[in-house]
Chain A
Amino acid sequence: MELKPQPGMAGTGVLERIEGRFGYATDQHHLPGLLHGAILRSRHAHARLLRVDTSRARLMPGVRAVVTAADVPGLNRFGIVVRDQPVLCEDRVRYEGDAIAAVAADTVEQARAALEVIDVDYAPLAVVDQAETAEQMSPLHGESNLLAREAFERGDTDAAFARCEVIVEHHYQTPRQMHAFMETEGGVAIPDNNGGVIFRVGCQSGHRDAEQLADILGLKPSQVTVEATPTGGAFGGKDELTIQPAAGILALQTGSPVLIHLDRFESCRTGIKRHPVSMIMTTGCDRQGRILAHRVDALLDTGAYASLGPAVLENFLDHATAPLYRIEAYSVSGRLVYTNNGVSGAFRGFGGNQATFAVESQIDALAEKLAMCPMELRRINLRTVDEPGSRGQVVRWTAPPSNVLAEAGASPLWAPAGSDLRRRWLTGTGMAMGAQGNGLGDGLPDSGGGRVSLTAEGRIRLEFGFSDYGQNLAEAITCLVCETLGCVAGDIDVVLGNSRGPDSGPTSASRSSVLIHGVLADILPRWNDCVRDQAAALTGLPRDQLHSGPGGLFAGGRQVLSYRELAEKGQPEQTLIDASQAFPVAPEGNQPVGRYLQLQISTVARVAVDRLTGRVRVTDLHHITAAGRVIYPPGYLGQIEGAAIMGLGMALSEDMPTRQGHYLADNLDQYIIPTMQDVPDQRVDVLDNTPTTDRFPVRGVGELGIEAVAPAICSAIEAATGIRVRHLPVDAGYLLAELCAQEETCS
């Protein structure tokens, strides 16, 4: 069924956003006594710090505080998985974004001027800028630049390869993509006058950030509060702490609120990126096309600090096992290495889409060698809903994979595109599939809570710890509550992302929707009972005749008590119901944990390749998603469309190459993301065969849309030109050279 946006369902905060009064983290300019902070970044990608002299900076006009490593009150380290990144470097810098000192001053200009006169002596160290040779270079941390190595094995891969009729082996490379959220990292730290600090910052996990910040600031957890603040995009790039530690230290030192807002130059230089992956994949099948063996050897450049690298590696490897396909034996392994090339970490897709790009390209390569239709080859090998997942785990699909494939096969985009008069544009259609699990993945504790209550004003308040950076979570919650309680949007208040509220865990890994649905299914009936009890006491009507509805409680078809009256006369305090839920994982401790709730997508792409220049235009994208129930259609559509265009950017133009550890792009004129005219028409069809008995009919679709776009585009390019591109982003020059070579051999 084609998903239509259902015009008119404008959600909460939409008008505020359009009218520019939504109060983003970096809009907090009117706090009394506000100071502006700025951070000194390393000049070198790798160096010893010999001396940091701030004496001149302290004398600059307007300067209120200058801090260095010595001023970090608590732990001078942060990091979600491994706390290995200094807040302010002590004796060594490991990438060009490393922070050395921070200044608070009356104006931004004064703060920046003060940075200019901080004297730093460096002794440059050899720069580790090639992931391939990183392990032979002197280590950035500990004993070795090998941060992690992981392998998944199944069956006897060598023996299985020996039985293969056809084997394909290729090298793939994916880019260091930047999140490029429109609001660069920023926010304020406000001293609370009791020795504690309140943060209003663009972030993805208030609770986790509050814990880390308490350690850094040497405060008790109860002294750090992270407040929900609208954020101009995150996509994984605000998962780690960004400006919070420096702002917090400066706020404590000065006793004043401190605002730090990185400009785009600094954001590009310091911010986390997607892991570039270099991998060799070998895949073999028998004469009928049954895939028997699959081997992957991958290298991920994690940059200077661990961040979420180990979790990304695990997710990458999971996707590298080709979860959609039944493969007798595989051996997939990956190494994650430290380099001085910035820092890589969480990014929508989380390593998975890098693997899917290569896996799907391999399937096409096998089909080509077998002279078989690539979709037929997929059909033969796709798992059924009854089979376990690629790692032996129990899986809950929301539709049979073969149905998702069949819908892709029926896409109107396979009809040949009309050609231009001068035959300048070569057109072609291709497709790819992808699977994606919900939840944080192996070894990471994953649970989340939420709360419902009746406010003193008679509004039904729902609180979750998730951050809202544009995913329409509030709208989804409102829709679910209205559906369950029969009330209307105007009755509901949604409060998100306060570290003093319920802990929902991080806003990542497409986990929010699943947890929201699960928690609401628990707390709403209980809340409803509680409210009906109170209403029964107040009205004298039997509880069974009462039910909640728009504006209040109803009996016999008419409203007998408004929520407001209930709040005034009843005991709203007692309606507060909290619940927490472990993220749904496979029963009986079946591993791996994050691969239980699975989603699928198939993306069909049509492209036009310019014969003259090799540039590629994607003219159409058609997605078929099987990702559970759609709660809020515009939100679902927006997530798929938005993620797909990020995938398009990754396929065609986005990369952050480095030279000697320095990024070669520093702003949005050099880092190229799609504009309005670069995006194709998109269509999303939703396939939902989730059994009515499934307790988890709602899944998170925040990452699904990016999964299959790049391989679908490359498959379409191959259909148009006969050339398969395996290194992203697609280099128009390479494509052109190949086209020219083809023409020469033809003529």
Chain B
Amino acid sequence: MTRHTQPEPCAPEQVTFELNGDVISQWVSPATTLLDILRGSGRITSARAGCRIGRCGACTVLLNGQAVPGCLVMAWQVSGGTVETVEGLAEDPDFVQVRDALATESALQCGYCTPGIAVSLVSGLRQQQNGDVVDLEEAVTGNLCRCTGYGGLKRAIAVLTEASSET
């Protein structure tokens, strides 16, 4: 395939990145959002469009290990990177810990916001393991939840914080 020296407005580009352990490659316009790529892939439903402007956190995924809103990441920024969603975290010890805390403390109702919250908490736990001081309640301030009033989430975070201070 010949490369345009002056790209045509609509020229799609090949974006290659690692998604939950698989290398995937897709021809897209470079400004396409990661959220659209993931949902359009047909294999990711955990990242959701709640606002598309970075303001709700329902689209949160891990990009190179850090929680980001997928609606604000453009395809060109993902190239060569690693993306993780809850679909790929089932065996991840941090995720398992987060999942159990959310479940036992009933930190969810409709659950629409929950994968995004779980990803933000996993990111927070990983940062803590890297020696950063991270308050998990701060780690979820970018995730809106309309059902629960965050009561169960507060209790789940208390459980996680206690667990991490013990280790």
Partner-B contacts on A (CB < 8 A)? 5, 7-11, 13-24, 26-27, 29-30, 179-184, 230-233, 235, 261, 263-264, 469-472, 634-635, 637-638, 641-646, 667-669, 673-677, 679, 681-682
Q: What are the residues of chain A within 8 A of B138 when measuring CB–CB?
A: 677
Complex contacts, A30 vs chain B, CB 8 Å: 42
Q: Identify A14's interface contact among B85, B103, B151, CB under 8 A.
A: B103
Q: Which residues of B contact A675 (CB under 8 A)?
A: 141, 144
Contact status B50-A19, CB under 8 Å: no
What residues on A are CB-neighbors of B52 within 8 Å?
A: 263-264
Report the Cα distance A669→B51, complex, angstroms: 9
A15: chain B residues at CB < 8 Å are 99, 103
Q: Which chain B residues have a beta carbon within 8 Å of chain A's beta carbons?
A: 39-40, 42, 44-53, 55-56, 58, 85-87, 90, 99, 102-106, 108-115, 118, 137-138, 140-141, 143-155
Q: Are A642 and B109 in contact (CB under 8 A)?
A: yes
The answer to whether A669 touches B115 (Cβ under 8 A) is: no
Chain B residue numbers with a CB within 8 Å of A183 are 48, 50, 110, 112
The SS class assigned to the B binding surface is loop
Q: Which 9 A-B pairs have the closest CB atoms?
A: A20-B46, A17-B111, A232-B112, A470-B110, A645-B149, A470-B109, A634-B106, A641-B151, A20-B115
A10, A17, A231, A638: the one contacting B114 at CB < 8 Å is A17
Q: A10-B103, A29-B39 are known contacts. Are A676 and B150 too (CB-CB below 8 A)?
A: yes
Chain B, residue nearest A183 (CB)? B112
Give Cα A19–Cα B122 distance, bound, in whole angstroms.
13
Instruction: State the CA gap A233–B50 with chains docked (Å).
Output: 12
Chain A residues whose CB sits within 8 angstroms of the CB of B110 once the complex forms: 17, 181-183, 230-233, 469-470
Q: Which residue of A lies closest to B157 (CB)?
A: A676
In the bound complex, do residue B50 and residue A14 qualify as a contact, i.e. CB atoms below 8 Å apart? no
- Give the residue name and chain of the A residue nearest to B113 (CB): A182
Of the candidates A5, A10, A638, which one forms a contact with B109 in the assembled complex, judged by CB atoms under 8 Å apart?
A638
**Taking the nearest CB of chain B, how far is it from the CB of A404, in angstroms?**
21
Instruction: From known contacts A18-B102, A645-B149, infer whether A668 and B111 are also in contact, taking CB-CB under 8 Å.
Output: no
Q: What residue in chain B is nearest A231 (Cβ atoms)?
A: B110
Asked if residues A19 and B149 are in contact (CB atoms below 8 Å), the reply is no
B112 x A233 contact (CB < 8 A): yes
- B87 & A20 in contact (Cβ 8 Å cutoff): yes
A21, closest chain B residue (CB)? B45
Q: Does the CB pair B50–A472 fall under 8 Å?
A: no
Main SS of chain A's interface residues?
A: loop
From B42, B56, B149, B155, contact of A29 by CB (8 A) = B42
In the complex, which residue of chain B has the Cβ closest to the Cβ of A639? Answer: B109
**Contact: B55 with A20, CB < 8 Å?**
no
Question: Whole-angstrom distance from the CB of A579 to the nearest CB of chain B?
Answer: 28
Name A682's contact: one of B40, B105, B151, B153 (CB within 8 Å).
Answer: B151
Assembly CA distance A15 to B105 (angstroms): 12
A233 touches B39 (CB 8 A): no
Given the known inter-chain contacts A263-B49, A668-B144, please indicate yes or no for A679 contacting B106, CB distance below 8 A.
Answer: no
Q: Which of B49, B109, B113, B137 has the most CB of A within 10 A?
A: B109
* CB of A198, distance to nearest CB on chain B (Å): 20
**Docked pose: A233 CA to B147 CA in angstroms:** 7
- Flag if B146 contacts A182 (CB, 8 Å): yes
- Choose among B51, B58, B103 the residue that contacts A667 (Cβ–Cβ < 8 A): B51
B104 touches A10 (CB 8 A): yes
| Extra A-B contacts (13), CB below 8 Å, given A263-B52, A676-B153, A677-B138 | A20-B87, A20-B115, A182-B147, A184-B49, A261-B49, A263-B49, A264-B52, A471-B109, A634-B106, A642-B147, A642-B149, A669-B53, A676-B141
Distance of A667 Cα from B48 Cα, bound (Å): 15
Whether A10 contacts B111 by the Cβ 8 Å rule is no
Q: List 27 A-B contacts (CB under 8 A).
A: A7-B105, A10-B103, A11-B106, A14-B103, A15-B99, A17-B108, A20-B115, A21-B45, A21-B46, A29-B42, A179-B146, A180-B146, A181-B112, A181-B146, A232-B48, A470-B109, A471-B109, A637-B152, A638-B148, A638-B149, A642-B148, A667-B51, A668-B53, A668-B55, A677-B141, A679-B150, A679-B154
Q: How far is the CB of B60 from chain A (nearest CB, A)?
A: 11
Contact B45 A668 (CB under 8 A): no
On whether the beta carbons of B144 and A673 are closer than 8 Å, the reply is yes
Among residues of A, the one whose C-beta sits closest to the C-beta of B87 is: A20
CA distance A7 to B56 in the complex (A): 27
A349 vs chain B, min Cβ distance (A)? 15
Q: How far is the CB of A42 from chain B (nearest CB, A)?
A: 22
A7, A20, A230: which has the most chain B beta carbons within 10 Å? A20
**Alpha-carbon distance A5/B103, docked complex (angstroms):** 11
A667-B55, A677-B137 known; A5-B106 Cβ under 8 A: yes
A18:B150 contact, CB within 8 angstroms: no
Closest A residue to B46 by beta carbon equals A20
Q: What separation, in Å, do the CA atoms of A293 and B140 have in the docked complex?
A: 49
- Bound form: Cα–Cα A295–B138 in Å: 47
Q: In the complex, which residues of chain B have a beta carbon less than 8 angstroms from the beta carbon of A677?
A: 137-138, 141
Tell me whether A233 and B99 are in contact (CB under 8 A): no
Task: Tell me if B141 and A7 are in contact (CB < 8 A).
Answer: no
Residue of A nearest to B108 (CB): A17
Give the Cβ gap from A337 to chain B, nearest Cβ, in Å: 29
